[in-house]
Structure 1
Amino acid sequence: MAQVEQRTAGGSEDTMQREQREAARKASSTSAQATREDSSDASDVSGMSDEEERYVPDSDGSSTGSSVGPCQRFGRGRKTEKEESSGSEESSSAEKSTRRPRSYKKQYCLYCQKPYVKIARHLQFVHKKEPEVAEAFGCKKNSNERKRILNLLRNRGNFVHNTLVAQSRTGTVVARKQPRTQRASDDFLHCMHCKGLFLRTCLWKHVRKCQHRPRGGQAAPGGKCRVQALAAFCNPVPFHVGRDIWKIACEMKHDEITRAVKADRSILLFGEHLQRKMSSYAGKKDYIRQKMRELGRLLLEVRRSAGPETLEALMAPRHFPQLVAAVRAVAGYREDTNSFRSPSLALNLGSSLSKICGLAEGGAGGAGGAEAARSFRRLYCSRWSQSVSAAALATLSQTRWTKPLPLPFVDDVKLLHAYLDMQHGMHKSALEAEPSADNFANLCKTTLTQIILFNRRGTGELSRMPLASFVSRDVSQAPSPTKLAAVCKHFRRIELRGKGRRRFQVLLTAHMESALNLLVEKRGACRIAEQNQHLFARPGALTPYRGMECLRQYAKECGAKHPDSLSCPKLRKQIATLSTVLNLEEKELDQLATFLGPNIQVHRQFYRLPEGTVQLAKISNMLLAMEEKTLPRYQGCSLDQIESQGVKTTQKKRKWEEGEVSAVERHLMTFIQTFTVPGKQDCLKCVQSEPALKCRDWTAVKFYVKNRISAMKKQLCLHC
């Protein structure tokens, strides 16, 4: 009885398996027929893998189409009965019971913007008159060139569709490959060359082997972050953002701060405001990126504390305490000492928030946003100073007072000069013998450092020196006075545009000028892009070398004892402080300050160190002279000419001028002729009677007469 039941069960299982095989055979037959109908077109796009033909996420990140879960792979073609019967019965029944009909991925046409499964056949029969389509189908069938052109047309059509989806925030986007796990649309980026949509983390692998990458000799950009920054600009530009500011935002390092910046409308509008304001400033992009990233850090800190998601929503009076707490957290506020770790960051954030509030008041956020911004402005003006600014300014002032300000040692500066001269000659000879990117870079960095060290100018201004300014320099010798003619013929002067639209000059020596001429001559042979119009250009890039990094590198390599002191600001402070020893006039100080960059007020306030030694040596003499009641004697004298009897100085002796000698001889000539040293009263009477002796005291007059008498006695002894 048990055996009969077992056979009956086995028979029912066999019947079920035969029905499943028959259903699978019919589905395979239908799939094979469809494959044969489009065999020619499928071969043209055979470069697509199964993963490439799967669908992708929505652009808005919603659950309906914005993300896709893992999918199964299904093979193509029809299996024979022998192949179907082979294998384990359990595995075949499990596979066929879960098998679903294949869903073909649709590609969007570049010309009519409609989705098609067989995009190659559609292009061949509907758009055959288009030049690119005609070029593709003019190639040999199944050739690599034909596949390359068709893949590019497919990617471009999908790119146009993805752009429309991103702008309208509805629909689904189409990518080349679909991940096995669920992903959002923000995880995808378009290739900057072929316009295909790839996973952000895998894009750098595709770029290195992309068939449409230019082969002009430039190496493929390496690194995930660098490739993502270049490809981010290929993504569709939001309709409420300008293209220029979007490009600046896309050039930032791609991290959570950049994502917060690009997703916030207020930060992007603030960047546009800065861009319009600084349209003529050469380094505006770096400054704008810095300000936008500061606001991005603030927004992320607010989100961590369960605050508003946007900066516009944060600009409300009820969120003011939360905003103050976020600024303090970002700037490193220490409540026990009421100080900031980064006081400048706190002040910069306050200034940026004030400007954003002003933009919102002007109607950037609508009527409701303007009213909320005005309310926030009143609260900001009344409470921001006591909440943030006062402590930040106190910390900044305290740091400036307690921070040591050492000047560069003269030995270190001489060592750096000698090392740069040696490197200059070596790299110049190497570039003349063998033009290469490495030799060009070495000579470029060495010459840039020499110019910075010689002129004591800011590193950023000299690094961004335009090529046209050097090429169009005036090589003719300008007429100059006789005393300066010999000096002027050894230098060349270049005028550049600095900060605040001020004009400043750069002096070049003969060996600097010859090195720059060689760099300009070898630009083409050393892979310098034509678009790079900087004099100190990087090979294979569009940016110049940074003078600060070059100066820091050679300061460490030269073997200086204190390489940290060989920085541009400290070198500028050195020349500004040493200028006090020269006792320059106001006009001469103004010329020096103009050459160094700032005006005379900035020069005195920021670039001079505290004059402790000067105060101790000069002003103390004046105070001691007041105590000794001898100050009226020095009427009309400078601080250098005041001497005190209470302090023994080792100043260098000053030569007696002809007017002073004549004044002494008019009153004390009888003492000299009789070989008698005058007394104090006679010397004081002489000093008070002669204006030429106002800078001499009575002891100087007495010892002058004594020295004259001693010299005359020596001469008499020699004659005897």
Structure 2
Amino acid sequence: MELCGFDHVTKLYGIPSLALKVGHSLKITANILKGNALMADPRDVELEQRCSAFVELKDMKWEEDISTHAHRTLSEKKRNNPKLLPVTEDIVALLQYVKNESQKSEVALEKYESKGAWKQLNETCLTHLIVFNRKRQGEVSKMKVVDYKKVKRAEGTDDALFKKALSPLEQKLLVVLWRVEIVGKMEKTVPMLLTNSMKDRLDKLMKYRKAAGVHNDNPYFFANESLSYRRGTDCLRVHGEACGAKNPQLLRSTKLRKQLAVVSQVMSLENNELDLLATFMGHDIKTHREYYRLPSETLQVARISKVLLAMENGDVDAIDGKGLADIQIEENEGEI
């Protein structure tokens, strides 16, 4: 308890997550010792019994004495904790920065074929794809070369009836965008979209891969010096700080994904449109609603309050048959 900063008065932990992790580690350690006792020659019956008794006691008392307070501490910390999201200004600054740096690296790579230029282009392209597609950083970082080689136009079907259902702009986007499928969470296949300029730069990364010294056995597209991949988290952090953003610590893939979800709330998408968005983001509609479309404080105050104020004034006609965005109230109705 002292290790995790337990307060005997409030029954709260200073480091609640550590308390939970310690419980798991103790059980694993006891089971390892028990396994050693079983394999010992001769068999260590005393140690085996002591380990079994410890695990049984831990299962009986740990939740009551430790984990309950740890979970309550976590809940207390989450309550009224501001849920900060990246602002549009910072996202635009980051995108503009990585575009400019990509152009410089692209020119230098074609001219000198240097490892430094390839590495810089590799990192800026990775950052750009994560931000543009709002993907989990690990999904994009682990994209394989074999996956990228299957990239194709997003034109889809040639069915005239299908295309007729799309607007002229949507039909044009099918022609100018590229689509590549990558492995997402839980081994799901998730799509990623590329513009022509993005694809041109990724093609150059492929072209100069050997000149940059990438090992032939490295399967990852965004390769590093070893047989592994470049970490998207590191790229977002470095470029977020370099682009001059006001809150660079918020420019992370999880925050960017939640920002897209909040924007989708403002748009009031239909169920089929929500399903499309959820599939693109790599999770089912239930997950999207429960974890990514949690009611934001802004929407609660801005929209739900209109219903409450109208009902307080007895003006039910003002909300009859209307959606939240359509309800209008007088500016002075919210005054106390």
Amino acid at match of 2:175: K
CA distance in 2, matches of 1:576, 1:491: 22
Q: What residue in structure 1 maps to residue 179 of structure 2?
A: 493
Q: What residue in structure 1 maps to residue 22 of structure 2?
A: 349
Q: What residue in structure 1 maps to residue 143 of structure 2?
A: 465
- How well do the aligned residues superpose, as a CA RMSD in angstroms? 2.7
Q: Equivalent residues in 2 for 1:296-695 (5 A)?
A: 329=3, 331-335=4-8, 337-354=10-27, 365-366=37-38, 368=45, 371-475=49-153, 477-479=155-157, 481-482=163-164, 483=167, 484-539=170-225, 541-608=226-293, 611-631=296-316, 634-644=319-329, 647=332
Q: Deviations over 1:413-472 (max 9, x none)?
A: 111121111111111111111112111100000100000110111112211111111113
Normalized against structure 2, the TM-score is what?
0.84
Q: Deviations over 1:297-339 (max 9, x none)?
A: xxxxxxxxxxxxxxxxxxxxxxxxxxxx5xx52x444556543
Amino acid at match of 1:552: R
CA 334–437 in structure 1, closer or farther in 2 if over 3 Å, else same: farther
Q: Deviations over 1:5-58 (max 9, x none)?
A: xxxxxxxxxxxxxxxxxxxxxxxxxxxxxxxxxxxxxxxxxxxxxxxxxxxxxx
CA distance in 1, matches of 2:317, 2:48: 68
CA distance in 2, matches of 1:351, 1:609: 30
CA 530–407 in structure 1, closer or farther in 2 if over 3 Å, else same: same
CA 380–525 in structure 1, closer or farther in 2 if over 3 Å, else same: same
Q: Equivalent residues in 2 for 1:62-73 (5 A)?
A: none
Amino acid at match of 1:397: S
Q: How far apart are residue 516 of structure 1 and its match?
A: 1.1
| Structure 2: runs of 5 or more not aligned | none
CA 468–419 in structure 1, closer or farther in 2 if over 3 Å, else same: same
CA 454–623 in structure 1, closer or farther in 2 if over 3 Å, else same: same
Structure whose CA Rg is larger: 1
For 1:496, what is the secondary structure of its paired residue? strand
Q: Deviations over 1:163-192 (max 9, x none)?
A: xxxxxxxxxxxxxxxxxxxxxxxxxxxxxx
The answer on whether the counterparts of 2:153 and 2:177 sit within 8 Å (CA) in structure 1 is no
CA distance in 1, matches of 2:48, 2:184: 37
CA distance in 1, matches of 2:273, 2:28: 40
Q: Deviations over 1:201-249 (max 9, x none)?
A: xxxxxxxxxxxxxxxxxxxxxxxxxxxxxxxxxxxxxxxxxxxxxxxxx
Q: Which moved more, 1:461-470 or 1:367-376?
A: 367-376
CA distance in 1, matches of 2:5, 2:179: 46
The answer on whether the counterparts of 2:108 and 2:114 sit within 8 Å (CA) in structure 1 is no
CA 646–492 in structure 1, closer or farther in 2 if over 3 Å, else same: closer
CA 385–595 in structure 1, closer or farther in 2 if over 3 Å, else same: same
CA distance in 2, matches of 1:511, 1:377: 58
CA distance in 2, matches of 1:571, 1:583: 19
For 2:176, what is the secondary structure of its paired residue? coil
CA 365–419 in structure 1, closer or farther in 2 if over 3 Å, else same: same
CA distance in 2, matches of 1:365, 1:491: 61
For 1:504, what is the secondary structure of its paired residue? strand
CA distance in 1, matches of 2:107, 2:7: 56
For 2:211, what is the secondary structure of its paired residue? helix
Q: Percent identity?
A: 33
CA distance in 1, matches of 2:15, 2:283: 26
The answer on whether the counterparts of 2:122 and 2:205 sit within 8 Å (CA) in structure 1 is yes
The answer on whether the counterparts of 1:497 and 1:503 sit within 8 Å (CA) in structure 2 is yes
Normalized against structure 1, the TM-score is what?
0.41
| Structure 1: runs of 5 or more not aligned | 1-324, 650-720
Q: Deviations over 1:95-115 (max 9, x none)?
A: xxxxxxxxxxxxxxxxxxxxx
CA distance in 1, matches of 2:285, 2:21: 26
CA distance in 2, matches of 1:521, 1:433: 13
CA 439–393 in structure 1, closer or farther in 2 if over 3 Å, else same: same
CA 353–598 in structure 1, closer or farther in 2 if over 3 Å, else same: farther
Q: Equivalent residues in 2 for 1:164-183 (5 A)?
A: none
Amino acid at match of 1:394: R
Q: How far apart are residue 632 of structure 1 and its match?
A: 5.4
The answer on whether the counterparts of 1:573 and 1:609 sit within 8 Å (CA) in structure 2 is no
Q: Which has the higher contact order (CA 8 A, sep 6+)?
A: 2
The answer on whether the counterparts of 1:405 and 1:609 sit within 8 Å (CA) in structure 2 is no
Amino acid at match of 2:130: I
Q: What residue in structure 2 maps to residue 141 of structure 1?
A: none
The answer on whether the counterparts of 1:621 and 1:647 sit within 8 Å (CA) in structure 2 is no
CA 634–608 in structure 1, closer or farther in 2 if over 3 Å, else same: closer
CA 630–549 in structure 1, closer or farther in 2 if over 3 Å, else same: same
CA distance in 1, matches of 2:93, 2:23: 44
The answer on whether the counterparts of 2:318 and 2:328 sit within 8 Å (CA) in structure 1 is no
CA 356–500 in structure 1, closer or farther in 2 if over 3 Å, else same: farther
CA distance in 1, matches of 2:172, 2:48: 66
CA 509–332 in structure 1, closer or farther in 2 if over 3 Å, else same: farther
CA 365–593 in structure 1, closer or farther in 2 if over 3 Å, else same: farther
The answer on whether the counterparts of 2:153 and 2:174 sit within 8 Å (CA) in structure 1 is no
The answer on whether the counterparts of 1:449 and 1:550 sit within 8 Å (CA) in structure 2 is yes
Amino acid at match of 1:530: N
